[in-house]
Amino acid sequence: MRPAVSVTPETPAREVLKILRDNNVPGVPVVDEDGRLAGFVTDGHLMDSALPRYMKMMGNLSFVPDDADEWVHYLTDAADKPVREVMTTKVSQVTLGRSELAVAHKMVHDGVSSVVITDGGNVVGIVNRLDLYAAIEGIDQD
């Protein structure tokens, strides 16, 4: 488990993108003013919110020229949204003290790459797949 960098529902998406990049993580917990888990936001949520709905429904965007810089304003507009508009409230979580096996099971069962660790509803850490792989690599096989 690593300490979780978290954001609030009002944090702008642009700030969340910087946090994701700076911490090399795909997502972060969203907490309320009391530190209680309120949601989770990923780079995928942010990218999804940046594309116009009609573009998501199209199978091919070959009609858009490669130098179509005017499309960048969609990304800029999305970066100013608060994450409450794009986060999920269905968060994969396990309580502090559960085993790595319980965390791995939760990841597989929920189809996620990160699980939030909570204690009494408050976020205390996060575990992602790479953390579990690192634990497996560290096991002595003698």
Q: For 24-61, what is each residue's pLDDT tens digit? A: 888 999 999 998 999 999 988 888 777 655 555 566 66
How is residue 16 written in tokens? 């969340």
pTM greater than 0.85: no
What percent of the chain lies above the pLDDT cut of 70? 77
Range in 72-76, 79-83, 87-91, 96-100 with the lowest mean pLDDT: 72-76
For residues 109 and 112, give the distance between their C-alpha atoms in angstroms, rounded to a whole number.
8
CA angle 49–54–60, rounded 5-degree value: 105
Torsion sign over Cα 24, 27, 32, 34:
negative
For residues 61 and 65, give the distance between their C-alpha atoms in angstroms, rounded to a whole number.
9
For residues 70 and 79, give the distance between their C-alpha atoms in angstroms, rounded to a whole number.
16
Go through the domains of the chain in sequence order and give each one's CATH number: 13-137 (3.10.580.10)
For residues 122 and 115, give the distance between their C-alpha atoms in angstroms, rounded to a whole number.
14
Please tell me the predicted confidence (pLDDT) of residue 81.
Answer: 86
Backbone angles phi, psi at 97, to 5 degrees: 100, -10
Helices (H), the chain: 13-23, 43-50, 53-57, 72-79, 100-110, 129-137
Please tell me the predicted confidence (pLDDT) of residue 140.
Answer: 57
